Amino acid sequence: MKNIPSDSHIRVQDALIQAQFTNYFAKWGASSSPCTKLHASSLIVPSSEWCYREHYLCERNQAEVEPAEPVSPHLNAIFLNGWSLHKKWQFDLFKKH
């Protein structure tokens, strides 16, 4: 008869795997350069929050822009997935054909 892992053993393995992936995304985020340019998602804020001057100055003075606070490993995972999708559609599909 095979040993069936207990529920607590499975939870421990799950936590270890999750911690390892969190570590991977934290390292990836620390090694990537901070994004300081205007992104299309900045355009979807309400008009009361949009500031033309802020974004114009940001584009003109990129060297003076302070990097944002480090983001969470979860957010890094979202960014990595998004960038992979952008690469897939923008480079692999449109630029090759």
Q: What percent of the chain has pLDDT over 70?
A: 74
pLDDT reading at 63 higher than 60: no
Rg of the chain on CA atoms, in Å: 20
For the chain, which residues make up each domain, given as ranges?
Answer: 72-96
pLDDT at 28 over 60: yes
CA distance 4 to 50: 57
Vertex 37 angle, CA 35 and 41, to 5°? 90
| Residue 62, C-beta contacts closer than 8 angstroms, at least 6 positions apart | 36, 37
Q: Give the confidence band of 20 by pLDDT, cuts at 50, 70, 90.
A: very high
Residues 51, 27: Cα–Cα separation, whole Å: 33
* Per-residue pLDDT tens over the stretch 36-58: 566 666 677 787 877 777 777 77
CB atoms within 10 A of CB 25: 19
